[in-house]
Structure 1
Amino acid sequence: MPHRRSLLALAAALPGGALAQPARWSPDRPVRAIVPFAPGGTTDVVARVLAEAAAPSLGQPVIVENRPGGASGLVGVDAVAKAAPDGQTILIHSNAHVIAAALVAKLPYDPIGDFAGVAHLGRIPQVLVVNPRLEVRDLAGLVAKLRAEPGRHHFASAGIGSAVHVAGEVFRSVTGAEIEPVHYRGGGPAMQAVITGEAIFAVDPVASALGHIRGGSVRALCIAGPQRVASLPEVPTAAEAGLPAFRHEAWLVALAPARTPPAATAALQAAFGAGAQRAAPRLAELGVQPAPEIDTPARLMAWLQEELARGVALLRAAGIQPE
């Protein structure tokens, strides 16, 4: 037994040995978390909650930096793709990360190959909201109005390929409504367009719409998914409101530049996991739901590949071609 313990200790100590332990990693300065959208939208709101909650596990602050610009946040995403792969810079992004492939003919980066998985940060149901001065009181009333007034209205988008845009396209597809999107620079400006009456509706993630709904500046008509949301228990699902085919949810992920050391991505994943537990009440309030089946960086990247194929197919069906 002493001889066996000596061999095990030696094997663990040898670089590349069968029992070698991965080196622990921690950042030596604040971690930059780039959000490729303007402040105030869902990605920004949830990123800030999780960044603050993850910081204690890393021993350094996680600083959210907004870098809006380009289709699907292309400017910010490209900045992370080209950043040093040292774990000090990460991307916090939404569905738009994979949708970009359906919108831009020549992306300056590969949305899969130029990134390493860190963590799935959660799924977020979306809620359809209208201006409270609009005469419609429910989803059926909105659909009837749009069909009676074809081409007279538009819906607000948080940018081409954003979750807000894609959800609006799903609504248009399942209702047959003659309505076009108007694209704003992020979720915050899109919501303001509904509040001021510039747009007839938006399908916004619960995380960013909740405060506006509770404040009375917009009226919620339905949840675009199969289940009600705990923070909005009075709002029916689309199925309950008579439109079961209207389903779409937002999601958020954290990614690092490709070739980031596995020890760094593992440490970041663990930090965000611990942060999600610390911030669980706030995340639940925002409607963020965990995705426990996507529990490793490798599974995250495989899932993103599947989401890319699904998102491209959805926008192609909506008649959107890359430019």
Structure 2
Amino acid sequence: MLHRRATLALAVTSGFAAPRLAAAQAGWRPNRPVRLIVPFAPGGSNDIVGRIVAEAAGQILGQPVVIENRAGAGSVIGTEAAARAPADGYTILINSAHATVPAIVARVPYDAVADFVGVAVAGFSPYVFAVNPQVPATTARELVALLKANPGRYNMATAGIGSGVHVAAELFRSTEGVQAELVHYRGGGPAVAALMSGEAQLGTPTMASSLGQVRGGGIRALAVCSAERSPALPDVPSAVEAGIPGVILEEFFPILAPKGTPPEVVAGLGAAFRTAIQRSAEKMRDLAGVSPRAGYDTPEKVMTLVREGVDQYTSILRAAGVQPE
């Protein structure tokens, strides 16, 4: 009898232990939907990349990853909401402007590094140097000549103060010594729409927000802001080929959680999102011109990239004579 009871007890204990062991091996998993804040309007690069990765991550996590667009102040409004959210894994952020904001906004209501923990990096992509098709310039050098002959006459669209598009625009204005009036829109989508309508004549939109319009002829790409051509736009010259070698800049997409999120939760999110990013790599390249890179597999590596980005963007803006506003 004692032997039978011991055997039964062992079987019961083993029955409980197996699910626990499986759960431990699987890591943290949410029991309700996860909110992914995109601090820009729909249609921009963060929105496009965020939705692609969120779909795959939700399948892995077993709960939907729901996009919440909270645009305003060049991503500050949505990013602050993420920083102030409960640090429980149910609110995360994707923001390619995260490292640019401290370089250009004087009073940021959060610390871009200290108030966050790294989850993953969705990918990298160069900015696109583009114009409205009615602009009488078919090359980058022709546009520079046109702007110098007509200082202040043409509008240059950005995705908002502090956005990477803003930094790229400032880089172009300073390195080429041209005067173009910056017009700040509430996200990449509205900025590209302004380029298409002619409300703005030129800009440096993200690859993700402009790829479809370039391919469809809604806007004309004069260069990609990289040293080499992009596989997403193989017929568009690089900045070097186009004669604007100083205008080289790419955006990256950090996925972040609020400071204080438990390490096991960050690990669970990180594993899920890194897998989702790899599964979505082809789709991101095709739809958004964004390519993942290896090497960002720990929170520390993600935040090192953010910290280095802050330094890089600050250097670009100060060289352009731009001070925080």
* RMSD, aligned CA: 1.6
Partner of 2:244: 243
* Amino acid across the alignment from 2:113: I
Tell me the SS of whatever aligns to 2:223.
strand
Which of structures 1 and 2 has the bigger CA Rg?
2
Structure 2 gap ranges (5+): 1-16, 18-23
Q: Could you tell which deviates more after superposition, 61-70 or 310-319?
A: 310-319
1:285-300 to structure 2, matched below 5 A, reads 285=286, 286-300=288-302
Partner of 2:149: 148
The sequence identity of aligned pairs, in percent, is: 50
| Mapped partners of 1:36, 1:89: distance in 2 | 13
CA contact (8 A) 2:154 2:202 kept: no
Partner of 1:133: 134
Q: Which of the numbers 44, 53, 58 marks the counterpart of 2:56?
A: 53
Q: Which of the numbers 310, 314, 317 marks the counterpart of 2:316?
A: 314
Q: Could you tell which deviates more after superposition, 144-153 or 31-40?
A: 144-153
Task: Tell me the alpha carbon deviations over residues 149-189 of structure 1, each in whole angstroms, 9 at most, x when there is no partner.
Answer: 11211210110111111111111111111123110111111
CA contact (8 A) 2:138 2:222 kept: yes
| Mapped partners of 2:179, 2:107: distance in 1 | 30
| Mapped partners of 1:276, 1:112: distance in 2 | 23
Shift of 1:22: 8.4
Shift of 1:284: 1.6
Are the structure 2 counterparts of residues 217 and 23 from structure 1 closer, same or farther at C-alpha, using a change threshold of 3 Å?
Answer: closer
Task: Tell me the alpha carbon deviations over residues 43-76 of structure 1, each in whole angstroms, 9 at most, x when there is no partner.
Answer: 1111000000111110101001000112x31111
Task: Tell me the alpha carbon deviations over residues 170-217 of structure 1, each in whole angstroms, 9 at most, x when there is no partner.
Answer: 111111111231101111111111111121211112111111112211
- Alignment coverage as a number of residue pairs: 302
Are the structure 2 counterparts of residues 242 and 307 from structure 1 closer, same or farther at C-alpha, using a change threshold of 3 Å?
Answer: same
Task: Tell me the alpha carbon deviations over residues 214-265 of structure 1, each in whole angstroms, 9 at most, x when there is no partner.
Answer: 2211111111101211121111101111121210111111000001011111
Partner of 1:93: 95
Shift of 1:318: 2.2
Q: Which of the numbers 86, 96, 112 marks the counterpart of 1:84?
A: 86
Question: TM-score of the superposition, structure 2-length normalised?
Answer: 0.89
1:214-229 to structure 2, matched below 5 A, reads 214-229=215-230
| Mapped partners of 1:295, 1:228: distance in 2 | 27
CA contact (8 A) 1:22 1:263 kept: no
CA contact (8 A) 1:122 1:289 kept: yes
1:4-83 to structure 2, matched below 5 A, reads 24-70=27-73, 72-83=74-85
Tell me the SS of whatever aligns to 1:204.
coil
* Amino acid across the alignment from 1:322: P
CA contact (8 A) 2:105 2:162 kept: no
| Mapped partners of 1:220, 1:67: distance in 2 | 29
1:234 matches 2:222: no
Tell me the SS of whatever aligns to 2:205.
strand
Partner of 2:13: none
Tell me the SS of whatever aligns to 1:97.
coil
Structure 1 gap ranges (5+): 1-12, 14-20
Shift of 1:106: 2.6
CA contact (8 A) 1:37 1:73 kept: yes
| Mapped partners of 2:248, 2:321: distance in 1 | 19
* Amino acid across the alignment from 1:184: Y
Question: TM-score of the superposition, structure 1-length normalised?
Answer: 0.90
1:154-173 to structure 2, matched below 5 A, reads 154-173=155-174
Partner of 1:305: 307
1:191 matches 2:192: yes
| Mapped partners of 2:70, 2:239: distance in 1 | 33
| Mapped partners of 1:294, 1:273: distance in 2 | 9
| Mapped partners of 1:98, 1:84: distance in 2 | 22
CA contact (8 A) 2:27 2:267 kept: no
Moved over 4 A (4+): none
